[in-house]
Amino acid sequence: MILSVGLLGIAMKSLPVGTAYAVWVGVGAVGTAILGIVLFNEPENQIVKYTSSTGAF
């Protein structure tokens, strides 16, 4: 979590706050879904497959 917030701070030096936050939230959501599938054997669904494979947040 500390690393994530630190990287958000670095990104905000060159990006507008809204853009940096939107990307941060999107990466966190997709990362959480992928970790849930890998670590906890949650079932995959079409939305997770699409967003994680295309980068569409």
Instruction: Please state, for a pLDDT cut of 90, what percent of the chain lies above it.
Output: 23
26 versus 15: the higher-pLDDT residue is 15
Q: Does 3 score more than 60 pLDDT? A: yes
Could you tell me which of 32, 3, 53, 35 has the C-alpha nearest to residue 11? 3
Query: Does residue 7 sit within a domain?
Result: no
pLDDT grade for 54, boundaries at 50, 70 and 90: low
Cα separation, 17 vs 12, whole angstroms: 6
| Number of domains the chain contains | 1
pTM of the full structure? 0.64
Query: Does residue 20 sit within a domain?
Result: yes
The domain in which residue 33 lies consists of: 16-53
Distance of alpha carbon 5 from its chain centroid, rounded?
A: 13
Instruction: Please count the other Cβ atoms lying within 10 Å of the Cβ belonging to residue 30.
Output: 17
